[in-house]
């Protein structure tokens, strides 16, 4: 029995996985699938306006038409919901809620996560905009492959950072 418990990790990983899945599904349904249009569109608009502002500050001559960024060569970059980092925020939030910790650390985790993911996503969109401006042939690779993996790793790193800093749980040191 003890060996079997070690092999599958006991009840805690299963409880985490179950709570995570339930919360992620509920957040997806409430904050995306059945969310009011003004909420979804507002998040898209905020992302597009923030990116446009940052690009303008850096000297890029980019126009904004709704949620579409128009570059000098007339290339158009349309910000859709999937560009906002919203799905990564759902995943991060579900991880924080499912992880055993205090309510206070969960609130801190959500603040850290939402702000951190927004910043990471803006960095992602800036890199993609740079690719449109300076390396258009690399855009698809950067968008579809490179940033998918990097974004996932950065969100997991943010979650691990929260666990180690705010939950009071850190890896136990082995006694010698």
pLDDT tens digit string along 105-159?
999 999 999 999 999 999 999 999 999 999 999 999 999 999 999 999 999 999 9
Please list the alpha-helical segments (H only) found in the chain.
Answer: 2-8, 11-28, 37-57, 86-98, 103-134, 139-141, 147-166
pTM: 0.84
The sheet carrying 68-70 orders its strands as 63-65, 68-70, 76-78
What is the C-alpha separation between 33 and 37, in angstroms, rounded?
A: 10
State how beta strands 76-78 and 68-70 pair. Answer: antiparallel
Q: Which two tokens stand for residue 1?
A: 């029995």
Taking only the tens place, the pLDDT of each residue in 64-115 is 999 999 999 999 999 999 999 999 999 999 999 999 999 999 999 999 999 9
How would residue 10 be classed by pLDDT, with cut points 50, 70 and 90? low
What pLDDT score does 104 carry? 95
The yes-or-no verdict on residue 170 having pLDDT over 70 is: no
Residues 60 and 131 sit within 8 Å (Cβ to Cβ): no
The yes-or-no verdict on residue 45 having pLDDT over 50 is: yes
The yes-or-no verdict on residue 38 having pLDDT over 50 is: yes
């Amino acid at each position: 029995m003890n060996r079997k418990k070690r092999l599958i990790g006991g009840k805690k990983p299963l409880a985490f996985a179950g709570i995570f899945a339930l919360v992620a599904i509920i957040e997806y349904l409430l904050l995306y699938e059945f969310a009011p249009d003004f909420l979804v569109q507002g998040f898209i608009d905020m992302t597009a306006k923030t990116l446009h502002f940052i690009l303008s500050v850096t000297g890029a001559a980019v126009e904004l038409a709704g949620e579409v960024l128009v570059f000098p060569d007339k290339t158009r970059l349309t910000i859709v919901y999937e560009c906002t980092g919203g799905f990564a925020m759902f995943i991060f939030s579900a991880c924080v809620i499912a992880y055993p910790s205090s309510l206070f650390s969960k609130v801190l985790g959500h603040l850290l996560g939402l702000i951190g993911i927004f910043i990471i996503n803006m960095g992602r969109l800036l890199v993609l905009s740079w690719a449109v401006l300076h390396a258009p042939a690399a855009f698809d690779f950067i968008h579809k492959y490179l940033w998918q993996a990097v974004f996932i790793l950065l969100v997991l790193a943010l979650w691990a950072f929260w666990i180690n800093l705010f939950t009071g749980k850190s890896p136990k040191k082995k006694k010698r």
